[in-house]
């Protein structure tokens, strides 16, 4: 079993992540990459600065991977999220899920990215072509406690 997660500051080595989950036990390997996109809400984006509550982000990402492994019977899963100043096209997150069968590999990959979006304490400040920059989601509605985490 190889389950590994990391919050990193340097470029993500996608080929190395794929090699990490390689096993003849697996019939399917799903690679998900999140990139910095050139447009958001009609504005031309020049880059994104990612920041995090580092210690908690590491714990939450590890917890997500652990839940994923248990839920989908995944034995080979690697996920890395990058912080710092990223340029257009840079990989901000990479998830590799491998399983004997494709259905579980697809579902596991989707589970990890959706949980990351929901609960990983990471924020991004987008820079725009007009020189402005803004926190993404900042100023949105107040986020209440997720229902399943209520006491």
Binding-site string for other proteins from residue 6 to residue 45, where x marks contact by CB under 8 A and - marks none:
----------------------------x-----------
At residue 3's C-alpha, the angle toward residues 90 and 68, to 5°, is 90
Name which of 10 and 24 has its Cβ closer to other proteins: 10
Binding-site string for other proteins from residue 49 to residue 68, where x marks contact by CB under 8 A and - marks none:
-xxxx-xxx-x---------
Closest approach of other proteins to the CB of residue 109, in Å: 13
Name which of 24 and 150 has its Cβ closer to other proteins: 150
The number of CA neighbours under 13 Å toward the Cβ of 54 is 6
- Supply the Cα-derived Rg of the chain in whole angstroms: 16
**DSSP E strands: which ranges in the chain?**
2-8, 28-35, 39-40, 43-52, 76-82, 84-87, 91-99, 122-128, 133-135
Binding-site string for other proteins from residue 110 to residue 139, where x marks contact by CB under 8 A and - marks none:
---x--xxxxxxxxxx---------xxxxx
CB 35 within 8 A of CB 94: no
Return d(Cα 9, Cα 45) in angstroms, integer: 21
Window 86-115: residues binding other proteins (CB under 8 A)? 92-93, 113
Residues of the shown chain interacting with other proteins in the complex, contacts defined by CB under 8 A: 34, 50-53, 55-57, 59, 81, 92-93, 113, 116-125, 135-146, 149-151
């Amino acid at each position: 079993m190889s389950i590994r997660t990391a919050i990193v500051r340097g470029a993500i080595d996608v080929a190395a992540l794929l090699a990490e989950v390689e096993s003849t036990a697996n019939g399917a390997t799903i690679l998900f990459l999140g990139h910095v996109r050139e447009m958001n809400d009609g504005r031309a984006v020049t880059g994104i600065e990612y920041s995090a509550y580092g210690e908690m982000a590491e714990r939450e990402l590890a917890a997500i991977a652990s839940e994923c492994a248990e839920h989908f019977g995944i034995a080979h899963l690697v996920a890395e999220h990058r912080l710092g100043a990223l340029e257009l096209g840079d990989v901000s997150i990479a998830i590799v899920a491998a399983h004997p069968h494709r259905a579980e590999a697809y579902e596991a990959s989707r589970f990890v990215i959706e949980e990351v979006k929901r609960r990983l304490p990471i924020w991004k400040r987008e820079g725009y072509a007009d020189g402005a920059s803004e926190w993404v989601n900042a100023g949105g509605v107040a986020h209440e406690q997720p229902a399943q985490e209520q006491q």
